[in-house]
């Protein structure tokens, strides 16, 4: 069909699908044409949980260590997936990738060479277990594993030792982190914690 033969577009004749269901929090869905603003061709990635990071920053008060606080909470509140003898495993509240977890000693110690032989040994065992569990749960293709020692080396919480275990997939990096300083995370933290904890060996 020739372009000139197409009938002119009439916005009044445009139809949208009917309303279906409700959002998880109970609010009915609403058509975009009924909302204020001028529509465009951009898609929005809404991440309201990031406001905690944006407004309050990453660093806690010097007197408040989140890695000391977490074991005092329930597993779901502390994002904990496993509690060991000298160390525990928890999700990163500000993950680089889905399934980004950390292994921490219970003891408030800042540097790897200050950890006891027992703490170092259990961190290694828990890291291996975490890799197996994450491979099963997320089907990742690789890992970044590391310790940032001291604030100058990039440690966000420099006074409490923690080892990062970050699942990686082919092409999991895109323009978001570079252009918009944003990571797209397809699974909510509470769902990821539940799945990892359920898969963790007894």
What are the catalytic residues? 162
Q: Do the Cβ atoms of 199 and 137 come closer than 8 Å? A: yes
d(CA 33, CA 168): 39
d(CA 122, CA 109): 15
Q: Which of 113, 58, 105 is nearest to 86 (CA)?
A: 105
d(CA 158, CA 155): 5
d(CA 116, CA 157): 19
User: Three-state SS for 113?
Assistant: helix
Q: Do the Cβ atoms of 53 and 94 come closer than 8 Å? A: yes
Walk across the sheet containing 142-146 and list its strands: 80-83, 87-91, 101-105, 163-168, 142-146
């Amino acid at each position: 069909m020739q372009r000139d033969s197409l009938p002119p577009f009439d916005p009044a004749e445009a139809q949208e699908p009917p309303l279906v269901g409700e959002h998880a929090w109970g609010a009915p869905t609403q058509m975009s044409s009924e909302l204020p603003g001028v529509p465009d061709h951009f898609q929005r990635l809404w991440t309201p949980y990031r406001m905690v990071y944006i407004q309050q920053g990453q660093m806690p008060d010097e007197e408040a260590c989140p890695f000391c606080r977490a074991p005092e909470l329930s597993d779901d509140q502390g994002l904990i997936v496993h509690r060991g003898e000298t160390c525990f495993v928890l999700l990163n509240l500000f993950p680089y990738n889905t399934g980004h977890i950390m292994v921490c000693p219970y003891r408030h110690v800042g540097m790897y060479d200050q950890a006891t032989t027992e703490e170092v040994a259990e961190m290694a065992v828990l890291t291996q277990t975490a890799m197996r569990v994450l491979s099963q749960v997320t089907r990742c293709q690789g890992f970044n594993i590391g310790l940032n020692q001291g604030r100058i080396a990039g440690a966000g919480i420099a006074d409490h030792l923690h080892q990062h275990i970050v699942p990686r997939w082919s092409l999991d990096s895109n323009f978001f982190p570079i252009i918009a300083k944003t990571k797209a995370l397809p699974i909510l933290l509470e769902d990821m914690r539940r799945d990892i904890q359920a898969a963790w060996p007894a």
